[in-house]
Amino acid sequence: MVKIDAKIPEGPLAQKWTKYKASQKLVNPSNKRKLDIIVVGTGLAGASAAASFGEMGFNVKIFTIQDSPRRAHSIAAQGGINAAKNYPNDGDSVYRLFSDTVKGGDYRAREGNVYRLAEVSNDIIDQCVAQGVPFAREYGGLLDNRSFGGAQVSRTFYARGQTGQQLLLGAYQALMRQVNLKTVKLYSRNELVDIVMVDGKARGIISRDLVTGELQRHFAHAVVLATGGYGNTFFLSTNAMGSNGSAAWQAYKKGAMFANPCYAQIHPTCIPVHGEFQSKLTLMSESLRNDGRIWVPAKKEDAEAIRTNKLKPTQIAEDDRDYFLERRYPAFGNLVPRDVASRAAKERCDAGFGVGNTGLAVYLDFKESIERLGEDVIRSRYGNLFQMYEKIVDENPYNTPMMIYPAIHYTMGGIWVDYELQTSVPGLFCAGEANFSDHGANRLGASALMQGLADGYFVLPYTVQNYLADDIRTPRMTGNEKEFVEAEKGIKEKFNKLLNIKGTRSVDSLHKQLGLIMWDFVGMARNKEGLKEAIEKIRAVKKEFWSNVRIPGEGEGMNVELEKANRLADFIEIGELMAIDALHREESCGGHFREEFQTEEGEAKRQDDIFAYVGCWEYKGDNIEPELHKEELQFMDVKLIQRNYK
């Protein structure tokens, strides 16, 4: 029986982490060399963790499915990274970043973790600058900040519209330095396909070399998963094509609990869907909302005329425009948190005011800021985003407003971890987007980068060491132990089974089918009937998949369809768990909006007395209902109030 123990250190919030670090166990240098750590994933979380472990002297193996660590999905993050530096002197502090994050997360995050996150946020900026990350600067030579959704201070550091890229390259370079020093061994195009358990502890992984198709056994004293989010369950999302939830799902099946799977973030500013061949959705950074104003026509007939190309947006008079975010939320205006902005856009479109050919789009207009600041300033701030938009849509956003629509972007849910980022499986840690830890039911912009790097640079190096201190006497295993052999055999059978279905449906067609179900029933607005229906439908897709998928080619050599099928098998089950969790959570909070639970003005309504807990799901076996465990959330420092951005 697994117990939920978050292991939050005693004491006042501000001293928990200091106390932890002061009393944690250490491993001496000569023993570090004898200890192996596997890190799966080379995104911000994985790369920073592996680099730090390597520097400390541990023996590290790191895995990525891409050809290079630098291509991890973190590379795509555009807008920025938060930190409580208070350089602009606008009243920011560690406490304020902490409370903003808890509030932004709609009071469903664990206070201790969030406070630690805010606390180390400043170290992250120092670290990155030391690595040569070219953050934007003022003319005086010091760092520049911008503001982001859900905050009234400017605390976001950025490198043009490529912040994630620059931060990841910093971490990647630190990682490659360790590869050069031979403390880290890099396995690229190499996918974790199973986690190996020995005596109840995670002791290694089975991986598949994606070029040769060969299965490999890797031992380690501890395993860290940093494999990113599962947003691609929806098929269409802003995630990279290869982002997947499979590694997390293997952990779940080995006994790690899956927390809050239903919390998925819908990002308000994405380029709208343009056809059924669409393969992914492109995000237009949230930072655009700093200077862009969101609107739809105030009159239905104008919207109608625009949809049929009879009117151009620039022809709509100022008075006939409805800047609906500014109207509904005067205090935060266009900078309300993502979930709020997304739902407001959906509400307008559902009411018939949407634009674009499909009517599923709203405008993001820069006319006013171009007039105020000049085109050059706008170009220097968002040039690459505008170019990206123009290449896709074939319209020039300097002259005509952008069209945007919400899309799946991020998953707050993930593998449950305690304060040490250890999962419910001993020796198995989880970091970055893959865990559930810091964002509650909704993540604020520029906080995922912060969390990934906090986990990797400043948390895991302490907590994993604390775990390994008790493990110095465990000798390395060879990979020939029966646990490894059996795990490999199991995987081989699974792949053979997949290859032998030889049905008629391509992996993508099934994935699209799953995605549509998810978007329609487990998307921006959910309800009881819909969720029940979704569960039935997802089960049907699962059946169809296991009886009718077609995977050309064989298990040897590179086989992209086999990789995708293996991941889709897990996405289907993740989708089901998301729906189950969404169904059980009878409240609206953050990214989880249940139509039955809203205020009269259509705002999300929480049920704090019943649902102020983390919903942790335990795997009970294939086709058996998972078991729910609750981690009650205690709010000592922030008061639970209805979020108000008005």
Partner 1 sequence: MEKNINLTLKVWRQKNAREKGRFETFKLSNISIDSSFLEMMDILNEQLINDGKEPVAFDHDCREGICGMCSLYINGRPHGPDDEITTCQLHMRKFKDGETIWIEPWRSAGFPVIKDLIVNRTAFDQIIAAGGYVSVNTGGVPDANSIGVPRDEAEEAMDAASCIGCGACVAACKNGSAMLFVSAKVSQLALLPQGRIEGARRAKNMVAKMDELGFGNCTNTGACEVECPKGISLANIARLNREFLMAKMKD
Ligand X SMILES: Cc1cc2nc3c(=O)[nH]c(=O)nc-3n(C[C@H](O)[C@H](O)[C@H](O)COP(=O)(O)OP(=O)(O)OC[C@H]3O[C@@H](n4cnc5c(N)ncnc54)[C@H](O)[C@@H]3O)c2cc1C
For residues 538 and 193, what is the distance between their CA atoms, to the nearest angstrom? Answer: 23
Q: Which of 1, 156, 186 is nearest to 77 (CA)?
A: 156
Question: Among this protein's residues, is 476 annotated catalytic?
Answer: no
For residues 493 and 486, what is the distance between their CA atoms, to the nearest angstrom? Answer: 11
140 is an interface residue for partner 1 by CB under 8 A: yes
For residues 530 and 513, what is the distance between their CA atoms, to the nearest angstrom? Answer: 16
Stretch that binds ligand X, among 75-83, 92-100, 601-609, 618-626 (CB under 6 A): 75-83
Which tokens hold the place of 481? Answer: 């132990």
Strand order in the sheet with 81-82: 81-82, 154-157, 146-147
Stretch that binds partner 1, among 93-101, 123-131, 429-437, 484-492 (CB under 8 A): 123-131
125 is an interface residue for partner 1 by CB under 8 A: yes
CB-wise, 72 or 197, nearer to partner 1?
A: 72
Which tokens hold the place of 467? Answer: 């775990």
For residues 177 and 493, what is the distance between their CA atoms, to the nearest angstrom? Answer: 38
396 is an interface residue for partner 1 by CB under 8 A: no
Among 2, 24, 34, 76, binds partner 1 (CB under 8 A): 76
Radius of gyration in angstroms for the set of CA atoms belonging to the chain, rounded to a whole number = 24
**∠ CA(454), CA(173), CA(226), 5° rounding?**
40
For residues 179 and 63, what is the distance between their CA atoms, to the nearest angstrom? Answer: 12
CA dist list (Å): 534 to 81, 111, 229, 244, 540: 36, 33, 21, 21, 10
Instruction: State whether residue 293 is helix, strand or coil.
Output: strand
Q: Are 364 and 284 in contact (CB under 8 A)?
A: yes
277 is an interface residue for partner 1 by CB under 8 A: yes
Site string for partner 1, 475-514 (x = CB under 8 A): -----------------------------x-x-xx-----
74 is an interface residue for ligand X by CB under 6 A: yes
Stretch that binds partner 1, among 175-183, 245-253, 296-304, 525-533 (CB under 8 A): 175-183
CA dist list (Å): 414 to 14, 227, 228, 426, 511: 26, 11, 9, 17, 20
Stretch that binds ligand X, among 223-231, 253-261, 485-493, 501-509 (CB under 6 A): 223-231
Q: Tell me how many residues contact partner 1 (CB under 8 A).
A: 80
Among 16, 27, 52, 208, binds partner 1 (CB under 8 A): 52
Stretch that binds ligand X, among 67-75, 358-366, 457-465, 541-549 (CB under 6 A): 67-75
253 binds, among ligand X, partner 1, none (CB under 5 to 8 A by kind): none
Residues in 246-265 that interact with ligand X by CB under 6 A: 246-247
CB-wise, 135 or 249, nearer to partner 1?
A: 135
Among 14, 26, 241, 610, binds partner 1 (CB under 8 A): 241
- Return contacts of 617-624, CB within 8 angstroms, 24+ apart: 617/252, 617/257, 617/258, 617/259, 617/261, 617/577, 617/580, 617/581, 618/2, 618/255, 618/257, 618/424, 619/252, 619/253, 619/255, 619/258
CB 227 to ligand X: min, Å: 4
Residues in 516-535 that interact with partner 1 by CB under 8 A: none
CB 221 to partner 1: min, Å: 20
52 binds, among ligand X, partner 1, none (CB under 5 to 8 A by kind): partner 1
Residues in 197-216 that interact with partner 1 by CB under 8 A: 211
For residues 262 and 441, what is the distance between their CA atoms, to the nearest angstrom? Answer: 9
242 is an interface residue for partner 1 by CB under 8 A: yes
446 is an interface residue for ligand X by CB under 6 A: yes
For residues 45 and 43, what is the distance between their CA atoms, to the nearest angstrom? Answer: 5
Q: Which of 488, 582, 485 is nearest to 530 (CA)?
A: 582
Give kind and range of the element (H or E) at residue 296: strand 293-297
Strand order in the sheet with 428-430: 184-187, 59-63, 36-40, 222-225, 428-430
Residue 310's φ and ψ, nearest 5 degrees, are -85, -20
Among 35, 39, 44, 50, binds ligand X (CB under 6 A): 44
How many whole angstroms from its chain centre is CA 638? 25
CA dist list (Å): 92 to 100, 144, 145, 454: 10, 15, 12, 19
CB-wise, 190 or 588, nearer to ligand X?
A: 190
Stretch that binds ligand X, among 66-74, 272-280, 383-391, 398-406 (CB under 6 A): 66-74
29 is an interface residue for partner 1 by CB under 8 A: no
Q: State the catalytic residue, choosing from 338, 526, 567, 585.
A: 338
363 is an interface residue for ligand X by CB under 6 A: no
CB-wise, 127 or 424, nearer to partner 1?
A: 127
For residues 614 and 106, what is the distance between their CA atoms, to the nearest angstrom? Answer: 12
408 is an interface residue for ligand X by CB under 6 A: no
Neighbours of 29 (CB within 10 A): 9
Which tokens hold the place of 150? Answer: 């859900």
626 is an interface residue for partner 1 by CB under 8 A: no
Residues in 420-439 that interact with ligand X by CB under 6 A: 432-434
CB 606 to ligand X: min, Å: 24
Site string for partner 1, 585-624 (x = CB under 8 A): ----------------------------------------
Among 16, 61, 70, 73, binds ligand X (CB under 6 A): 73
80 binds, among partner 1, ligand X, none (CB under 5 to 8 A by kind): ligand X
Residues in 145-164 that interact with partner 1 by CB under 8 A: 159-160, 162
78 is an interface residue for ligand X by CB under 6 A: yes
Beta pairing, strands 154-157 & 81-82:
antiparallel
Q: Which of 640, 580, 575 is nearest to 610 (CA)?
A: 640
CB 223 to ligand X: min, Å: 11
490 binds, among partner 1, ligand X, none (CB under 5 to 8 A by kind): none
564 binds, among partner 1, ligand X, none (CB under 5 to 8 A by kind): none
180 binds, among partner 1, ligand X, none (CB under 5 to 8 A by kind): partner 1
Among 101, 178, 183, 239, binds ligand X (CB under 6 A): 239
523 is an interface residue for ligand X by CB under 6 A: no
CB 113 to ligand X: min, Å: 15
- Active-site residue set: 338
The binding site for ligand X (CB under 6 A) comprises 40-46, 63-66, 72-74, 76-81, 163-164, 191-192, 226-228, 238-239, 243-244, 246-247, 283, 409-410, 432-434, 445-449, 452
